[in-house]
Amino acid sequence: MWCLKSSMLRFAKQIAHKEVARSISSAAAVQNAPLHGIRILDLTRIVAGPYCTMILGDLGAEVLKIEKPGRGDEARIWGPPFVGDTKESCYFITFNRNKKSVCVNIQSEEGRNILYELAKVSDILVENYVPGKLDSLQLGYEHFYEIAPHLIYCSITGFGSKGPYSKRPGYDVIAASIGGLLHITGPENGEPCKTGVALIDLSTGLYAHGAILAALLKRAKTGKGQKIDCDLLSTELSTLINIGSNYLNAGKEATRWGTAHESIVPYQAFPTQDGYYTIGTGSDKQFVEFCRLINHKELADDPKFLTNEVRVKNRLELIEIIGRALSAKANSEWADVFASSSFPNGPVNDLRATFNDPHVKSVDIVKTLNHSTAGEIRVVGPAVTYSEGGNEIRTPPPVLGQHTEEVLSGVLGYDTKKIRELREMKIIS
Q: Catalytic site residues?
A: 201
Q: Based on DSSP, count helices (H) and strands (E) in the chain, helices before strands.
A: 19, 11
What letter would DSSP give residue 428?
B
Query: From CA 227, how far away is CA 51, in angstroms rounded?
Result: 19
User: Of 267, 241, 266, which Cα lies nearest the Cα of 184?
Assistant: 241
Residues 396, 370 contacting (CB under 8 angstroms) = yes
Residue type, 211: A
CB neighbour list of residue 78: distance below 8 Å, 6 or more residues apart: 89, 91, 92
Task: Classify burial at 398, counting beta carbons within 10 Å of its beta carbon; exposed 0-12, middle 13-18, buried 19 or more.
Answer: buried
DSSP 8-44: HHHHHHHHHHHHHHHHHHHHHHHHHSTTTT-EEEEE-
φ and ψ at residue 271, rounded to 5 degrees: -70, 140
Bridge pairing between strands 39-43 and 124-127 = parallel
Helix 199-222 with 48-58: angle, nearest 10 deg: 50
Q: Given the DSSP bridges, would you call strands 152-157 and 227-231 parallel, antiparallel or unpaired?
A: parallel
Inter-residue contact 33 to 391 (CB < 8 Å): yes
Q: How far apart are CA 399 and CA 375, in angstroms?
A: 12
DSSP label of 389: -
